[in-house]
Each structure stands twice: as structure tokens, then as C-alpha cells.
A and B are shown apart, each in its own frame.
Chain A
Amino acid sequence: MVEKGRISAFQMGRMIYLAITPTAILTTPAITFKFAKQDMWISPIWAFCGLITLYAVFRLHAIYPGRNIVQACEAVIGRLPGKLLGALFLLYYLYLIGIILREYGEFVVGSFLFTTPLIVVSGSMVLVCAIAVRGGVEIVGRFAELLLPAFVTLFLFIIIPIIPDLRVPNMFPIMANGITPSLAGAFVLQTWFSELISASFLLPLVADQKKAKTSVLIALLMIVLTLVVANLATLMLLGDITGGYTYPFLILARYINLAEFFTHLEAIFMAIWVLGAFVKICVFFYVTVLGAAQWMNLSDYRPIVFPIGLLVTLSSMWVAPDLQKLTFSISTSVTFSAMTMFVIVPMLLLCLAWVQKRWRGTAAKG
């Protein structure tokens, strides 16, 4: 066993929540609005991919207890194809962290630190995350436990003061064209929901297995709730021009004005963003490192943390030449590839595993 640390089911839920929400609040409202218009707040409710992914993760774990999806690959489809598929998984993870890190860097540089080079912003984040990841799953889990209350408090710090400026009529008419627009808007969100596959890597490390399922489902529910609240607030403030802004939720923080005194609060949003992105990158980073170590049959994952950190930084530079292309690919190709890797492949694996089990069962009997 490469990882000796254990986390509680509760910590796992918090890690999953923070591994998905932060970037979803930032980038998705504008893209969702383009398809769903005033139904954009309904879109996060269509979390199909999340449920399918979680189903696959838990069933696979029931068939192969103590193994994550990369390890399960080998057991299901044989050693060589399993290794190949596992490598594909890990490379895709690397690509995805590249995107997350780039989103983080682009936002910080584009809205706050205009003169800082992108590599400094993302490089320092990778360094901090690498140190946390070297500490093992327990450290990452505790960070999630520690930072979640801060994340939620700061989130409410933006939502509550903006309430006087919200215009409820902006959300009407609800579902004027049926559910199709909100489903179309939910499409891009499926990338985020399929990221729940990270649960597969954390699940074998959970000490109290019985509570794990409840904890992750609560996390999913909270993700949906947070996104609904964030999208609703954005919609009620900005209405028809939501789609025009690159980061609509940032405008919320900028627009707050309580008593002529409580204003210019984008620093809070920056804090949310850095906290959230830190945990998110830590979780993804950890999963990649752990998966890579297991894939190469290493006895310890610590030696490869920094080398993979370097790859992550490079990947963040390679994923897209500029922000426009990054946003464009997130709303198009990334959605498809994420759904393929994180939803379709695990489901196929599950089907195969199930058939094998059946077949072996009947073979043993006969």
C-alpha cells in the first residue's frame, strides 16, 4: 500500500465538495447562461453525470474493495490493456489539473495582479500544493476540513450583502421553453460533475467505509445547492447581461455596497478563489501522484511529487494559448473528453466487471 494515511468519510466529503465547487462558480455561469438564459439556476440540478460517476465508483469499489479505478482497470481488462487505460487516465488527470491551474492563474492575473507573470502565480500555487501533497492524504484532508468553513463563510459574505440589489423578476419566466434550455446549459456543468471520479481514489483510504456513501452524496447535494444559489444571485443581479461577463460572480462581489462603507469586496472573492483552488488543485494533484505511484509500482509516492508538479505547471501552460481558447475548449471539447473518461469508461469497466463476476460465478458452479 503506497498510502498509509487514512481519512474520515466526513473529510472525504469535504474534499470532494472543495474539489469541484470553486472553479464551477467562477467559469460556468457565463457559459450556462448562453444556453439556459433565465433558467440558468435550474441547470446545476441536472447533475446526471455526477450520479452516474458515483454509481460506477461505488459499485466498482464493492467488487474490488480497496482498489481505485486505475487499479481496478488492471483487474478487469487484464494487465497490459489495464496499464494502458490507467496511463490514459493519469495523463487526462494531468491535462485537467493543467486546465484548473490555468483558470486559477488567468483569473488572478486578469483581474487582480495585472503585472505579475502567469508562471509566477501558477508556479507558486503548485509549490504550495506540492508541499501539502507530500504530507499525504491526511494533510490534504485536514486542509479541506479546515478551509471549508472559511470557504462557506466568505461565499455567504458575498451572497448576503448583495441581496438588496437582487431583482427577483429577472428569473421569470421559469422554463418558458420547457426543460430543454436548462438541460443544454447543464451540459458544460457535466465536466465538473464527472470530476467526482476523484472519489474513487479517496474511497479506499476512508477509515469508516459505511459512512462514505452518505458523505459523498451530501457533498454532491451541497455542490448543486451552492451552484444554484450562485447562479440565482448572478442572474438576479445581472439579468440579460450575465452572458457578457467573463466572470459574472466577480461582478457580484464588485457590486456590493452596504451603507457606503462595505464596498469593493472583490478581495473576498479573491480569498474564496485562492482557498478553493488550493484544495481543488491539492486533491487533483494528490490523485495524480498516488495513481502514478501505484501505476509504476513504487513503494512511496513522495519522490515523484515535485517532478509531477513540474509537469502540472507545464501542462497549465500547454492546455491553451490564451483565455479565449481556454474558455472555448472548456465549453466544447473538454466536456466531451471528461464525460468519456470519467463517465463512459468507468461505466464500461463496471459492466465488464459485472459480466466477469457473473461468468466466473456460473463457471465455478458448473
Chain B
Amino acid sequence: MDATKRKAVFALFFLSVHALCLTGCWDRTEVNDLAIITAAGLDLTEDQQLELSVKIYLTSSSSTPQMGGFSSPNSGGAGLSVVRSATGLTVADAASKLQQLISRKVFWGQDEVFIFGERLSRQGFVEPIEFLMRHPGPRERSNVFVSKGMAKDVLQLAPPIERSIADSLRKMAKLQTGLNITMKELAQMMGGKAKAAVLPMVEIKPREASQDAFAFINGSAVLKNGKMVGRMNKVATRGLMWLRDEIEYGTVTVSPENAGGNVSFQLRRSHTKLVPHIRGDDWSIEVRVETWDDIVENATDLDLSVPKHIEQLRTALEADIRQRTEMALAQAQKEWNADVFQFADAFYRKYPKEWNRNKDRWDAIFPKVKVRVEARSVISRPGLIGKSPLIPNQR
């Protein structure tokens, strides 16, 4: 009995000694040992090298933004971030050079925004995306943007509303007034059947008398085979979003016939369905858009409590949706031949055999695909007033 007891005491002692190692300061990584990257930008320099710029969030409040050899300090109110950049042959190369410029260990896990400069995008960015997918640090959910001009310039902005430029861009994307594309979705589009992708485009509104420069999402960049081939403006991007079933919020303004003014709707819900058909050599696709909208403004002489006027509004609204989507379609089909609507997947799902026979010819087929947009809208509510008390002679 005594021997086993002694044995037990010894074992317990042996185990508790090990517990001392577990309290562990010997390889601790505390927050103030890390350079937490909140946003990263990639540009192409004049001599065809990659330039990686990162926005580092400073965790200890005592340090103030300092003048770096490569960057300028923030001018805005937040002032807790710095930008550093380094160049290299590949992204990994640039990242390792970047580490040489920073006293803390670079930490990618919180990076939620990646911005690609326009020059790099036109050259092609398969390689950087490869790195970002392979490296375990960057996250699949981070948002991806293309910047008009240098990505570095966007990073250097300090938005007054949000804590950092990363937050501000990510929240703007999340509102889905423009496109909201994550790294995973970009990889899916680039590696998918259509080989075409779209990314939201970030633009800098220059400094004016009363306001600082700020970044906002304006239109979208169209990619084909991993290269940026063109740019869609804001209106066409909305059409694109209708077709991709990504519309969430929005206000649509139409002017119905013979009504002498405009009516604005607020979008409540929308759903888009792609129905492909193949008849012989004739590939066509039917786009069925269904929306539910509320009236938020009425400056016409129509009394909107009368049902037949609602009919008239619906026709106008449906025509407007058709016009927007057709604008996006015309650009994508005629100008860039880039299947950014993922029609290829729709065809594959319904006609897998035909698709497999023709998948190498998709570039020749896509511009000729006939698209018929069929919009159906439901105008659910007139808002808080029916017949406007302010416009006296409404019909």
C-alpha cells in the first residue's frame, strides 16, 4: 500500500512539474509583438516588380504614427495605422522584404481587404491570388477590390468615419450598393467555367475645400483569364448585379409615360433566375427578374392609390430594369467577351453533355448567346401617404 502511495505522489509531482512549462512565456506572441495587417495593396512598379503595401494597425496606444522611409503619416483623426511597402519578384518575396522593414512579426490573420492596383490588374493577377490562397494566413473571406490608380494611395487614406480604411471599404462592400466579392468568390470565378470575373472598383475622391480625400466604390473591373480587360460604370454595374442576383438595396427612379415627373422606388427584395436553352446551334438564355418594391417618392401627377396607375408604374419599372441589364449585357458580350454573369455554369447545369462538347468554344459562343430579360415587379406599398396632399391636381 505504502509503495503505491509513494508512487502516486511521485507521479503527481512529476506531472505538476510539467505544468510549469505550460504557463509559457517562452514563446508567447502577444498582440503588441504583432504587426496586424488590416488591409493590403498590390501594385506593379515601373520596372515590372510587385509592390506590396500593408496597412498596419498599431495596437499599443503609446506609439504615434511616425514618418517612414516609404510612407507618409496619416492625416486623419484615427492616426493609429501606418503604411509600409516593399517590392519583390513575387508576393511572397515582397512579403519577406516587408518583414525586414517592420520590427514586429507580420500577422495576416486579420487582413480583411485586398486591393489590386489597376496597372497590376491589367497585367494579370493570377500569381498574387495564388499566394493568397496558398498561404495559411490570408483569409478566404477577405474582400477584394481593384483600385483606380495605385492601391498604395488608397491605403494611405484615413477615413474619418471608420477606424481604418479596411473597415470603411469592407462596410461599403457589405452594404451591397456595389459588388461585394470575397477572395473565395474571386477564386471561384477565375477558376470556374466562364474564366471571367468582376471586382468592385475603388476610386479616390480627391480632397476638396471642406472635405478630406476619401475612397468609395465606383463601378466594377471586368476580368478575363485573370486579367482586367475593362471597366463598367456604376449604372452598368447595377445591371450586372441584377443579372448575378446580387442586388440587395437600391432606389430606382423612373419616369412613367405622360406623367410629367419621376417616381422613386425602394427595392425590398429581388430574385433573378437564369433559364438556359439550347436549340441546335442556337444558345439562348432567359433571365427572369422578380422584384418587390415600395414607392418612396412620387413627383408625377398620378394618384398612386389608383390601381391602374400602379400598372403603369410597373411597366416603367420593368422597362428600366431591362434597360440596365441590357446595358451590362451589351458591354460584356460585345466589348470584352467576358462571361461575368456565369452563364457558362447555368448552361453546364442544364445541358452538361452539350457543354462538355462545346466548352472549348465558349469564347465563340458567349457573344452570340441571345438573352431575353423578363422583369416582373410587384409594387407592394405606397409608403405613408397615398394621394399626395402636396400635389393638388393628381389624376
Contact = CB atoms under 8 A, between A and B. Distances in A.
Interface of A: 110-111, 114-115, 169, 172-173, 176-177, 237-241, 244, 251, 254-255, 257, 263-264
What 4 A-B pairs come out closest when comparing CB atoms?
A: A176-B352, A172-B349, A173-B352, A240-B192
Given A176-B353, A254-B140, A257-B141, 5 more contacts: A172-B349, A173-B352, A241-B191, A255-B141, A255-B184
Given A110-B136, A264-B109, A177 B352 contact: yes
A241 B182 CA distance: 14
A115 B193 CA distance: 38
A244 B140 contact: no
A237 B133 CA distance: 15
Interface of B is mostly: helix
Nearest to A169: B349
Contacts of A114: 136
Contacts of B136: 110-111, 114
Interface string B168-187: 00000000000000001001
Interface string B271-299: 00000000000000000000000000000
Interface residues of B, number: 19
Contact of B140 (A169, A173, A251): A251
A238 B185 CA distance: 8
Contact of A255 (B140, B192, B193, B353): B140
Nearest to A239: B188
A240 B342 CA distance: 12
16 contacts: A110-B136, A169-B345, A172-B349, A173-B348, A173-B350, A173-B352, A176-B353, A238-B184, A238-B188, A240-B188, A240-B193, A251-B184, A254-B139, A254-B140, A255-B184, A257-B141
B349 A173 contact: yes
Contacts of A239: 188, 192
A244 B191 contact: yes
Given A176-B353, A238-B184, A254 B141 contact: yes
Contacts of A111: 136
B133 A244 contact: yes
A273 B260 CA distance: 67
B195 to A, nearest CB: 11
Contacts of A173: 348-350, 352
Interface string B340-354: 000001001110110
Contact of B188 (A176, A241, A264): A241
B219 to A, nearest CB: 25
Contacts of A264: 109, 139
Nearest to B350: A173
A257 B184 CA distance: 13
B28 to A, nearest CB: 13
Contacts of B193: 240
A250 to B, nearest CB: 9
B114 to A, nearest CB: 16
Interface in B329-367: 345, 348-350, 352-353
Contacts of B109: 264
Nearest to B174: A260
Nearest to A237: B184
Contacts of B139: 254, 264
Contacts of B188: 238-241
A144 B187 CA distance: 39
B337 to A, nearest CB: 21
